[in-house]
């Protein structure tokens, strides 16, 4: 059971950037070892046979096995398991997630897919199991909510990264072989290495929308999920955004929706606190202008700079974060250095801790 009044022990935490004692310091999971067990779990949507997801899930298992890990697939991912738009009812999904969090054999959890589910079980997560044995949780889209809420409540480094089925099993398969190899090495190093990775591989879509340099902890996800979580009792304290590098992306909806969500962040005071912004490639967003758009709507850079106004922070756009293709991993809470004009983004800290480092106090 979780407790609303529970405050994690600060043992084995990075508290250097924490000024409010009520805000937990950074909680890094233990680094994975070859042969560790990774669970693919139904944290949101079901396994949908109409989209031929069984084959993509099998390929995702192969990708993780190729990294040297053992893989277990969630019972809720049995074909035909579904409740409305979800893999199961919220309590069932939370039960499976909590069982994985409590299982000492499971060393990492990868979300099968996104969807519209996480809001239903944010209050059912065993937070004490996370602080007792923090594990990497990987995923994006709806899983953004988990990363943000668990970072707010425990300081857990969440891995905003490709989902198992549409990502590792789908988008990775469609990518060139050299790109797949690069991503596999990047993900493996992030999960197993205890030294900073440094510069992430720059892509041809990266653009400087506003020049400048900044450093700060990564915080972000789907922009609508960032706005939604701030409307709940699990909202990130504004202190979490002090000097943060806000990264976000959007899929579906309209350009006007993006503009509105960014204004929600402005009204919440978030845009006044961040040190920089990283924007992912938009996916299926209607009403955006540009050379490939049939309408005369605004471009995404125009929308972003319009909302930012005179806030003089660097903005790097077109980064491979989100629904548009294979994702570069964004470990929430880890400090990065951004140089928008040079189009560089570097991880300054490891996302996992060494096995030699004592774990959280029991």
> Annotated active-site positions, please?
141, 249, 323
Compute, in degrees rounded to 10, the torsion defined by CA atoms 104, 106, 111, 116. -30
* Ordered DSSP codes for 74-85: -GGGSTT--BTT
Distance between CA atoms of residues 306 and 200, nearest Å: 28
3-state helix, strand, coil in the chain (%, to 5): 35, 20, 45
| Sign (positive or negative) of CA dihedral 219, 221, 227, 231 | negative
Q: How many CB atoms lie within 10 A of CB 219?
A: 25
Spatial CA neighbour of 330 closest among 351, 344, 313: 351
Determine the angle formed by the axes of helices 255-267 and 300-308, rounding to 10 degrees: 20
Phi, psi (deg, nearest 5) at residue 285: -95, 115
Distance between CA atoms of residues 174 and 191, nearest Å: 23
Spatial CA neighbour of 83 closest among 121, 54, 110, 52: 121
| Element of type H or E holding 279 | strand 276-280
Distance between CA atoms of residues 207 and 153, nearest Å: 34
Residues sharing a CB contact under 8 Å with residue 39, sequence separation 6 or more, in sequence order: 71, 72, 73, 74, 100, 106, 108, 109, 110
- Give 319's strand partners: 280
Distance between CA atoms of residues 79 and 57, nearest Å: 11
Distance between CA atoms of residues 51 and 55, nearest Å: 9
159 near 350, Cβ under 8 Å?
A: no
Distance between CA atoms of residues 340 and 306, nearest Å: 18
């Amino acid at each position: 059971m979780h407790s609303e009044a529970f405050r994690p022990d600060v043992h084995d935490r990075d508290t250097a950037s924490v000024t409010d004692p009520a805000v937990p310091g950074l909680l890094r999971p233990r680094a994975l070892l070859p042969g560790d067990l990774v669970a693919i779990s139904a944290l949101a949507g079901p396994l949908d046979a109409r989209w031929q997801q069984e084959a993509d899930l099998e390929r995702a298992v192969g990708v993780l096995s190729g990294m040297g890990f053992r893989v277990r697939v969630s019972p809720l991912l049995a074909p035909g398991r579904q409740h409305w738009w979800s893999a199961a009812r919220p309590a069932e999904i939370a039960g499976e997630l909590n069982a994985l969090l409590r299982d000492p054999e499971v060393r990492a959890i990868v979300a099968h897919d996104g969807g519209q589910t996480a809001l239903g079980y944010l209050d059912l997560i065993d937070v004490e199991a996370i602080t007792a044995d923090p594990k990497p949780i990987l995923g994006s889209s709806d899983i953004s909510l988990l990363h943000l809420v668990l970072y707010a409540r425990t300081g857990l480094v969440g891995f905003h990264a490709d989902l198992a089925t549409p990502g590792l099993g789908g988008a990775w398969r469609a990518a060139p072989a050299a790109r797949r190899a690069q991503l596999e090495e990047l993900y493996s190093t992030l999960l197993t290495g205890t030294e900073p990775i440094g510069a992430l591989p720059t892509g041809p879509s990266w653009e400087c929308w506003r020049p400048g340099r900044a450093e700060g902890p990564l915080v972000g996800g789907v922009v609508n999920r960032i706005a939604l979580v701030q409307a709940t009792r699990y909202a990130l304290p504004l202190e979490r955004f002090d000097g943060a590098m806000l990264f976000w992306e959007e899929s579906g909806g309209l350009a006007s929706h993006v503009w509105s969500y960014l204004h929600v962040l402005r009204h919440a005071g978030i845009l006044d606190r961040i040190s920089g912004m990283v924007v992912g490639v938009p996916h299926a967003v209607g009403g955006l202008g540009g050379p490939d758009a049939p309408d005369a709507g605004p471009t995404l850079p125009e929308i972003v700079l319009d909302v930012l106004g005179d806030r003089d922070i660097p903005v790097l756009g077109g980064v491979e974060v989100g629904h548009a293709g294979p994702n570069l991993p964004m470990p929430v809470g880890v400090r990065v250095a951004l140089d928008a004009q040079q189009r560089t983004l570097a991880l300054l800290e490891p996302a996992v801790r060494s096995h030699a480092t004592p774990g959280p106090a029991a």
